[in-house]
Amino acid sequence: MQPGLSFEENMLEARQAYPDVSQCPVRGVLDQIANKWSVLIISALAERPYRFGELRREIGDISQRMLTQTLRDLQADGLVEREVFPTTPPSVEYRLSPLGHSLLVPLRSLVQWSFDNFPAIREARQQFADVA
């Protein structure tokens, strides 16, 4: 974010500067954590490295297709590191990169906010539903 520019200014100017959505920094990150499984995978890897199967069992109801795909995306963005051990049968370990760890900081704030304010949101939804 440029110094001297407020959050709002940056958000809106970011769209001017990046007419191609796929190139916008904010949208790129937002889309990533918006994925159904990204945050869940990142939070699991925040604890310790996991092997593919371990991660699958830990999360529980993720399809192997989406686990593979999400891990690839996170790896492509440099948030997750992948290490293959050429054993038989093969074993692959996934861990958070330093960049991935740094993302935990703002992510924690957001998760914290979600927990803190969910009651209020829940109530607001109820009231809104009653009126409508």
Total of residues contacting DNA (CB under 7 A): 21
Cα-based distances in Å from 101 to 41, 42, 47, 54, 96: 12, 9, 10, 20, 6
Site string for a second copy, 33-72 (x = CB under 8 A): xx----xx--xx-xx----------xxx------------
* Binding partner of 64, given a second copy, DNA, none, CB within 5-8 angstroms per partner class: DNA
Closest CA to 95 of 66, 57, 54: 54
* 74 lies in the binding site for DNA (CB under 7 A): no
- DSSP 3-state of 111: helix
What is the phi/psi pair of residue 96, to 5°?
-75, 135
Comparison of 10 and 35: residue with beta carbon closer to DNA: 35
Comparison of 71 and 103: residue with beta carbon closer to DNA: 71
* Count of CB atoms situated within 10 Å of the CB of 3: 4
Comparison of 51 and 101: residue with beta carbon closer to DNA: 51
* Count of CB atoms situated within 10 Å of the CB of 24: 17
Q: What residues make contact with a second copy under the rule CB under 8 A?
A: 1-2, 6-12, 14-15, 25-26, 28-31, 33-34, 39-40, 43-44, 46-47, 58-60, 75-79, 99, 102-118, 120-121, 123-125, 127-129
Residues that bind DNA (CB under 7 A): 35-37, 51-54, 56, 62-66, 68, 71-72, 82, 89-92
